[in-house]
Amino acid sequence: MNEVLVRDQGHLRWIVLNRPERMNAITGQMLGELNDVLKAADDDANVRVVLLTGSGRAFCSGLDLKQAAAGEGIGGAGLASAGARHYSTREICTVTLQRMDKPVIGVINGAAAGYGLDLALGCDMRLMAANAVLMPGFAKMGVIPESGGTWYLPRLLGWAKACEVAMRGETLSAGRSLEYGLVNKVVDAAELEAEAVRWGEDIAGNAPLAIQEMKRLFRHGLTQDFESHSHHVLMSVLNLFKSQDFREGVMAFAEKRGPRFEGR
**Across all residues in the chain, what is the average pLDDT?**
89
Give the chain's radius of gyration (CA, Å): 19
Residue type, 253: F
Contacts of 154 (CB under 8 A, 6+ apart): 162
For the entire predicted model, the pTM comes to 0.89
Q: Exposed, middle or buried: residue 231 (CB in 10 Å: 0-12, 13-18, 19+)? A: exposed
Instruction: Give percent of the chain above pLDDT 90.
Output: 73
Range of weakest confidence among 59-73, 77-91, 143-157, 244-258: 77-91
State residue 112's pLDDT score. Answer: 96
Range of weakest confidence among 15-24, 138-147, 187-196: 138-147
In the chain, the N- to C-terminal Cα span, in Å, equals 37
State residue 76's pLDDT score. Answer: 52
Beta bridge partners of residue 51, listed in sequence order? 14, 105
Residue 72 in this model has a pLDDT that exceeds 50: yes
Cβ atoms of 137 and 149 within 8 Å: the answer is: no
Calculate mean pLDDT across residues 22-41: 92
- State the Cα–Cα distance between residues 25 and 143, nearest whole angstrom: 16
CATH number among 1.20.120, 1.10.12, 1.10.10, 2.50.20, domain 208-254:
1.10.12
Calculate mean pLDDT across residues 115-136: 96
State residue 88's pLDDT score. Answer: 47
**Strand ranges in the chain using DSSP code E only, listed in sequence order:** 4-9, 12-17, 49-54, 58-60, 104-108, 111-113, 125-129, 133-135, 172-173, 185-187
Helix axes 159-168, 149-157, angle to 10 degrees: 130
Range of weakest confidence among 25-34, 87-96, 119-128, 248-257: 87-96
Calculate mean pLDDT across residues 97-109: 96
Range of weakest confidence among 22-36, 72-86, 153-167, 168-182: 72-86
Task: State phi, psi for 113 to the nearest 5 degrees.
Answer: -130, 150
Long-range contacts of 35-42 (CB under 8 A, 24+ apart): 35/86, 35/91, 35/92, 35/93, 35/96, 37/4, 37/6, 38/93, 38/96, 38/97, 38/100, 39/96, 40/6, 41/6, 41/13, 41/15, 41/100, 41/102, 42/96, 42/99, 42/100, 42/101, 42/102
Range of weakest confidence among 15-29, 65-79, 232-246: 65-79
Q: Where are the domains of the chain?
A: 4-204, 208-254
Confidence of residue 91 (pLDDT cuts 50, 70, 90): low
CATH number among 3.50.50.60, 3.40.47.10, 1.10.3370.10, 3.90.226.10, domain 4-204:
3.90.226.10
Calculate mean pLDDT across residues 174-181: 96
- State the Cα–Cα distance between residues 243 and 25, nearest whole angstrom: 43
Residue type, 11: H
